[in-house]
Structures are given as C-alpha cells and as structure tokens.
C-alpha cells in the first residue's frame, strides 16, 4: 500500500521536473514544462516531507481534461500537453452525497489493481479516462524488523542522477538546474499511476480527488512489503497512461507492472506521526542500536575525559616470608583434662 509520501518541490519546480522535449514549429528541439493549475476554492498545495491522506498534493493530467476535449485538434501539434493540478489524496466516491469531502467513510487512499474494473468507486473514473500521474519525491513504507514490535519506516524513491540526493536540497538546488536547452537536472520524481474524480458537494463545493493504484509486489520489493504502487518509469509510460483518447483503459491497465527500479533507505520514526512536519524526515538514518550522539552528550564526554585523573596503584614491595624461631617453649593449648589431672596429683602429694 501507499499511505504516506514526501513532496517537497514548489509548483514551479514540479513543472520543470516534469518537462519533456518537444520539437517546435521551426524544427528546434527544446524542453517544455507543463502548466500549473490551482484547485478551485481555498484548497492549495503546501510542500511537505510527510504527506498524509486528505492533503492536497500535485498530480499530472492530460490538458484535454481541462479543455474538455478528448483528442488533440488536428494541426495543433503532436507533443502531449499536461497540466499539474493539486488534488485531495483519497478519491471521493462518485455516488457519495454529502456536504463534507471526507465524510463518506471509505478508505480510498489506494485502489487495488486486482478487480478494479468491478469496483463502483473506481469504474466511472476508468471509463471516463480520468487517469492521472501522482507526483512525489517518494513514499514511505513500514517493515516489521526481527525481534522488534515497532515498525521501521523506509523511504522509497526513484534512482537519482549522480551527486543528487533527493532529501538534500543543497545537492541539486543550483541556478542552472533547469533550462529549455537541457531540461531538468534536479532530482527525479517518483511517478505513480492513479485515478481521479471531480465531486460536487450538496453545498455546491467542487473537489478534485485521486487514488493511487497498487499491485502485488515484484520479487525485489517484496522483501520490504507485499504491495507496491503502480510506478511509471519512462516518459512513454507516462504518456500512454495519460493519453485516454489514444489508449483505452483496458490497454492502459496492461501497461502497469510491479517490477520496477526503486531504491530505499531507513528513516527516522518521527515520520510515523503525520502531524510531524520537520524537514528532511526522508533522509537516511542508521539502524545501529547505539543512540545518536547529541551536542550535549558530546560536551559531557569531553568534560569527563578532561576532568578525570587516572589513579595509579601504589608500588608495593612483596615481603619475604621467613620462619621465626622462638627461644621459649611453645605454650600448649589449655586442656581441662590435663588441668584436672594436675590438681589431683598435687592433692595426693600433700597428704
């Protein structure tokens, strides 16, 4: 399953990170970034290392969903056009009638690949071509370690370019991180297949929401968890998943696979609580049982090593054992029997 993600890039950075190469009308090759579109109303996207369900996070959709068309207009261009749109994580069932966007009571954070065509919650999105790509730095998964009742969280992300650490902004945030000539040189985002829906509350409020498709894990990832999101690794896979006019949903589902190249590392258990919003929670940590050395513990150690004087054992000269010979006769121990015999002998001699 996928129940927590990290998405730390701003809207402009997200668009540039999803740029694709196009050929202009004059035959020139250049990179083009998707457009950003805000969610209607007061709902907005805020970057975070600890995204939980019901938060509004960025997803990429075909521009035809925005324009209301199904196929590109003839002569308009052959390059696919995308829009990045924040949506609520947790698809609102299309049959739900209510005033609260989270009041339906169903668990729709993930939608299982198996039997998805029969689910009345997701079938309308499939048939309408409402397919999206969920964008994030990566997602968290919890593994129960041997002999430990607590679950250890891991951060799973796409393979990164050399020298780029997706959890360390200083490793990639440079002035030339993107250009029309070279495209995006920053971190590679993780792109997951999803379905989205547009819902209207009884109060007339419009909410866009989505669900992440999950599958049985392949051989590599099964060592960490038995399910994995449907990850799209290439630009062609992204294009095929989003192009609902060219590729029907049955064919699109066949594209999805569970054997993908991902990397993961253990992270701090502070991510267990979704209210924790500290930065860099997706950074690697050591699983060494020894507690990490803090500034105060370092100061104490230095003070103790400086103030402690090593005590040396006094030099002791061993004493030679000698036999002492006494000139006096050795006194025999007192015996009542001998004393009584002596007294009797004295009485007899005095008579």
For residue 2, indicate whether it is catalytic: yes
Give the separation between CA 148 and CA 137, rounded to whole angstroms: 28
* Cα–Cα dist 21/180, whole Å: 9
Q: Which residue in 7, 18, 132, 141 is the catalytic one?
A: 141
* 3-state SS record for 307-331: HCCCCCCCCCCCCCCCCCCCCCCCC
| Closest residue by Cα to residue 87 from 41, 44, 139, 147 | 44
49 is annotated as an active-site residue: no
Q: Could you identify the residue written with the tokens 């294009």? A: 239
Task: Report yes or no: 8 and 171 within 8 Å, Cβ to Cβ.
Answer: no
Element (H, E) at 21: strand 20-23
What are the structure tokens assigned to 238, written together?
């992204």
Radius of gyration of the chain (CA): 38
Beta bridge partners of 266: 154
The residues near 163 (Cβ < 8 Å, ≥ 6 apart) are 171, 172
SS3 171: helix
Active site residues: 2, 141
């Amino acid at each position: 399953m996928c129940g927590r993600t990290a998405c730390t890039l701003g809207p402009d950075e997200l668009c540039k990170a999803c740029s694709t190469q196009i050929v202009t009308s004059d035959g020139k090759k250049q990179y083009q970034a998707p457009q950003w579109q805000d969610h209607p109303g007061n709902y907005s996207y805020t970057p975070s290392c600890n995204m939980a369900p019901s938060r509004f996070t960025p997803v990429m959709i075909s521009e035809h969903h925005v324009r209301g068309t199904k196929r590109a207009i003839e002569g308009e261009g052959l390059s696919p056009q995308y829009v990045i749109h924040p949506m609520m994580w947790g698809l609102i069932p299309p049959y739900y009638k209510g005033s609260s966007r989270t009041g339906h009571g169903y668990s729709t954070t993930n939608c299982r690949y198996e039997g998805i065509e029969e689910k009345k919650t997701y079938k309308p999105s499939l048939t309408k071509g409402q397919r999206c790509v969920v964008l994030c730095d990566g997602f968290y998964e919890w593994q129960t370690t041997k002999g430990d009742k607590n679950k250890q969280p891991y951060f799973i992300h796409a393979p990164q370019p050399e020298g780029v650490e997706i959890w360390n902004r200083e490793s990639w945030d440079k002035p030339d991180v993107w250009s029309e000539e070279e495209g995006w040189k920053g971190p590679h985002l993780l792109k997951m297949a999803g379905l989205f829906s547009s819902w209207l509350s009884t109060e007339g409020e419009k909410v866009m929401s989505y669900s992440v498709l999950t599958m049985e894990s392949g051989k590599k990832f099964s060592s960490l968890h038995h399910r994995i999101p449907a990850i799209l690794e290439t630009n062609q896979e992204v294009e095929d998943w989003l192009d609902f006019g060219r590729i029907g949903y049955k064919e699109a589902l066949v594209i999805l696979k569970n054997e993908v190249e991902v990397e993961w590392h253990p992270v701090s258990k502070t991510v267990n609580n979704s209210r924790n919003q500290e930065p860099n929670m997706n950074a690697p940590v050591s699983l060494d049982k020894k507690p990490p050395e803090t500034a105060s513990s370092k100061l104490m150690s230095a003070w103790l090593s400086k103030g402690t004087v090593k005590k040396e054992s006094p030099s002791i000269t061993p004493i030679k054992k000698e036999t002492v010979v006494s000139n006096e006769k050795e006194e025999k121990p007192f015996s009542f029997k001998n004393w009584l015999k002596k007294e009797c002998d004295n009485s007899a001699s005095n008579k």
